[in-house]
Amino acid sequence: MADLRNVTLAVLSGGAGARMGLPKAWLKLNNRPILHHLHHSLAWPGPTLLVTVPTRLNPPGHELFQAQVADPLEQGPLRGILTALENSSTPQTIIIPLDMPQLRLQHLQWFANSLESHSDLLGLMSQRSINDKLQIEPLPLACRQGAQPIIADQLELPDHSLHALSHHPHFAAIPAPSHWPPKVWTNLNYPIDLPNQGSPDNDPLPDR
């Protein structure tokens, strides 16, 4: 089992949140900043890194992270992943977006364990079955430091999508555990996605 004390958790928080109506790093869950929610619900035992952009520095809760770094250019999540790896102090880094509030420590432990057991890979993401079709989930993403040049090269190509990484021979998307509930993959993209809004199925997020 991977020792998470030696794995950096990097949270991508630089998104403008155009569909949400405000930058996602300024969202609140249970009346507290979303970064507070992530910090409490994950209780990460290793180094933590917050990845922002120059125009949206110091979001509420940034002080809970051991370090904050900003992308030199706003080029989307792929640039954020490269920035995270450039500033990570550990051999392995787990990168997550801040808009997946249902992630828990055991889910990220699985990513760290999976990458550790695939010594031939530099990066690992997951895939899951939806209506009998496999869908790649590019985040969370577990990376070794050696993935930096691959991601830098991808940034120079027209396709900056994270999905494109899954086609690289040193990256893979492997099946996530089938017992994980669908809510693990919840993304907060629109105001209706926030708990207690819209559908009655949007239950308040638990503290832990």
Please state the domain extents for the chain. 4-193
Q: Which residues contact 64 (CB under 8 A, 6 or more apart)?
A: 35, 36, 39, 48
Q: What local confidence, expressed as pLDDT, does residue 196 receive?
A: 62
Q: Phi and psi of 160, rounded to 5°?
A: -95, 15
Q: What local confidence, expressed as pLDDT, does residue 195 receive?
A: 79
Q: What local confidence, expressed as pLDDT, does residue 17 receive?
A: 78
Cross-strand bridge partners of residue 10 = 49, 95
Q: How many CB atoms lie within 10 A of CB 60?
A: 15
Q: What local confidence, expressed as pLDDT, does residue 40 receive?
A: 95
Is the Cβ–Cβ distance between 103 and 140 less than 8 Å?
yes
Instruction: Work out whether the CA dihedral 99, 102, 103, 104 comes out positive or negative.
Output: positive
**Segments of the chain scoring below 50 in pLDDT:** 197-208
61 vs 45: CA distance, rounded Å? 17
Q: What local confidence, expressed as pLDDT, does residue 24 receive?
A: 93
Show the tokens assigned to 130: 């939806």
Q: What local confidence, expressed as pLDDT, does residue 207 receive?
A: 38
Q: Write out the CATH class of domain 4-193.
A: alpha beta
Nearest to 190 by CA among 22, 32, 37: 22
Q: What local confidence, expressed as pLDDT, does residue 61 receive?
A: 97
Q: What local confidence, expressed as pLDDT, does residue 15 receive?
A: 83
26 vs 36: CA distance, rounded Å? 11
Q: What is the dihedral of CA 199, 204, 205, 207, to 10 degrees?
A: 180
The predicted-structure confidence for 59-77, as pLDDT tens digits, reads as follows 999 999 999 999 998 888 9
> What is the enclosing helix (H) or strand (E) of 94?
strand 92-97
Q: In what order do the strands lie in the sheet with 67-70?
A: 67-70, 48-52, 7-12, 92-97, 133-144, 123-130, 171-175
Q: How many CB atoms lie within 10 A of CB 146?
A: 13
